Structure formats: C-alpha cells, structure tokens
C-alpha cells in the first residue's frame, strides 16, 4: 500500500490499493444579501416590476458574482426573503451554464423552475427572476413579486407569447434587409464558455432549437456597420450573439463571438475616408461590451390580464457609438 503524503501532488494518478482521506466541509446557508443599489424602474405595482438593467450588471448571484447583482438590488427594494439552507444539490457545484448570464434565457422552457441552468443557484438567491440578460446587455427585464406572477409569467415565456425586441450594432451589413435565423444552439465543445450553432438532431443532446428574426434598420459607416433589430422566437443562451456570428456579422464589441476591435476596424476603415480613420479607431477602442440592448418588452399582466408593452431608450454608450458610425455615412470615398 502506498502511503499518501499530506502534501497534495496534483500530477499523481490514483492506483489500486491507494487510500484517500478527505474532509467534507459543512454546508452553509446561501443568501442573496440586500444591497441599496439604484434601480431604473420603468413600471411597478404589487405584482410585477419592470426594470431597465444597465450594462455590466449581472442579473442574479452566482459563483464569482455574489454581490452587486440585480437580485441583490431587488431584495433590498422589495424586501424579499434572502436565504435558504444549502443542500447537496445547491452547494459548491458549478452551474451547468457557468457563471455568466444569458442574453435572454427564460427559466421555464420545457423545464421546471429548477432548470439545469441554475444548478448551484437555488431559488432563494434569484427571487422573482423569470428571464435574464447577459451581463453586457442593457435593457428591459420583468420581475415577478409573488408566486402567482412568477408562474403566470413563466408560462408566457414557455408558450413564447412574450414580445421582445433587441437592437444591436454589427460588423458589416447583411446582404438581406430582413430574415430569420433558424439554427440550433448548444455548448461549444472547443470552448466551454461559448455557445455555438450545432446540428439539430434527435441524437444531439447539445442542440436546442433557436430562432431569431432580424431586420437591418440602418446602414452605417457606408456599409462598414449596421443597426439591426432582433425579435426572438426562442430564448437560448447568447442566442442573438451566436446567430449574429452565424450570419457573418458579429456584434460590435463582442470579443467572445468574433466582434473584436480588429474585426470591427477591418469592416469600417475600408468604407470611410482616411481622414476619419483616427476617429474610428478611437471610437472602436472604447468598446466595453457587446452592442446589444433589450429595447422593448410586452407581456400579459398576471393579475388583471391586460396586455402591457414597455420600451426604453438607448443607453448613452450605445447611442454615441450609433451616432458616430452614422456620421461616417457622409464621408463617402
């Protein structure tokens, strides 16, 4: 029998007859701590809350992001319960979808509220969250303030009756003014933090049907970029970002899916006068996030059953980038 040293040798491979001793840490309660964070509230009543989430705010606590999230702000604003006892299923496990947020993934899509998306992130640390936005995405989110509202809104997302539109700035300009991307999405086997378009077949467990409608609203920088509107028929992880890359026109500022500074400049600089290249380089160098904004959101109120539609303006960083790229249209070669 091999005597195991108390010092861990990470390169050692276990062999038959080895004995391994380990200590299991006690389970600790998980909490979403209330934090007094200013919220941009678009609408609020006793049952629902609609907020305009700023870019760089994570939607809910998860490993690596336990504070400063939208949920931390909501717990303070709505005085919601904050803790739950950890179980074997909710302590220390890595979430199936990692700790990054989704561009817009509803929680109850052919799954229950304990979706594998949230393994390790129990209900008590994501109260009221029905769908979520990627950290870098700004815009509208609806939050349920009671159980009935949560169930009602979740069903609307599952039934795909919620109306959502997004605005994005992309590299280059699609050849089609409008269209529809029907391409399944799954985890990228070469890079676990990414999603990718994958073959959609009954044997492919990674594939989830994903459909996005798109329209080119405005050609910018003489075709070097474009303002696009997206309407989701499904809500998959990073759906718009993946489908934009699939079209060959990734979102400006989206380093994960091909919208790097270099890619943006390679599209824009050949289309504009050389005298404006310096300004374009400065503009692109300031990109801090994927250029994506959840502009409109429509749903049926869970209590009075009235149809409600909300919109919010572009955030300043997105608007400034759009206007500057638009100004390059006057600099025709």
Catalogue the active-site residues. 134
Q: Are 101 and 237 in contact (CB under 8 A)?
A: no
Type and span of the H or E element at 259? none
Q: Are 300 and 156 in contact (CB under 8 A)?
A: yes
| 252: region left, alpha or beta (phi > 0 left; psi from -120 to 50 alpha) | beta
d(CA 224, CA 329): 9
d(CA 299, CA 308): 5
Q: Are 142 and 297 in contact (CB under 8 A)?
A: yes
d(CA 318, CA 286): 11
Closest CA to 130 of 85, 209, 71: 71
d(CA 71, CA 60): 5
d(CA 30, CA 312): 34
| 17: region left, alpha or beta (phi > 0 left; psi from -120 to 50 alpha) | left
d(CA 209, CA 234): 8
Q: Are 184 and 209 in contact (CB under 8 A)?
A: yes
* Adjacent-strand bridge partners of 215: 178, 229
d(CA 326, CA 220): 5
The label of the residue with tokens 């964070």 reads 37
């Amino acid at each position: 029998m091999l005597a195991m040293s108390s010092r861990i040798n990470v390169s050692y491979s276990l062999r038959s007859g080895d004995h391994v001793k380990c200590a299991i840490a006690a389970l600790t309660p998980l909490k979403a701590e209330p934090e007094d964070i200013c919220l941009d509230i678009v609408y609020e009543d006793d049952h629902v809350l609609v907020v305009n989430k700023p870019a760089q705010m994570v939607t809910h606590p998860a490993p690596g992001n336990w504070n400063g999230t939208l949920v931390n702000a909501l717990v303070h604003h709505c005085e919601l319960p904050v803790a739950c006892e950890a179980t074997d299923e909710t302590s220390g496990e890595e979430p199936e979808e990692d700790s990054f947020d989704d561009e817009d993934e509803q929680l109850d899509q052919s799954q229950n509220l304990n979706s594998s998306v949230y393994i390790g992130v129990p209900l008590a640390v994501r109260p009221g969250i029905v769908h979520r936005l990627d950290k870098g995405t700004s815009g509208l989110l609806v939050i349920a303030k009671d159980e009935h509202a949560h169930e009602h809104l979740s069903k609307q997302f599952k039934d795909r009756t919620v109306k959502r539109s997004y605005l994005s700035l992309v590299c280059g300009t699609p050849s089609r003014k409008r269209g529809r991307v029907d391409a399944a999405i799954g985890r990228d086997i070469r890079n676990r933090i990414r999603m990718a378009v994958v073959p959609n077949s009954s044997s492919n467990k990674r594939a989830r049907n994903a459909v996005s409608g798109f329209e080119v609203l405005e050609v910018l920088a003489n075709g070097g970029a474009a303002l696009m509107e997206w309407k989701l028929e499904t809500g998959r992880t990073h759906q718009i970002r993946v489908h934009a890359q699939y079209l060959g026109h990734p979102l400006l500022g989206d380093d994960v899916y091909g919208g790097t500074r270099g890619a943006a400049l390679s599209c824009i600089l050949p289309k504009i006068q050389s005298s404006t290249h310096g300004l374009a380089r400065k503009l692109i160098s300031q990109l801090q996030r994927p250029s994506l904004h959840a502009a409109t959101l429509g749903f049926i109120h869970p209590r009075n059953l009235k149809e409600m539609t909300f919109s919010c303006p572009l955030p300043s960083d997105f608007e400034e980038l759009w206007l500057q790229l638009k100004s390059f249209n006057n600099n025709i070669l």
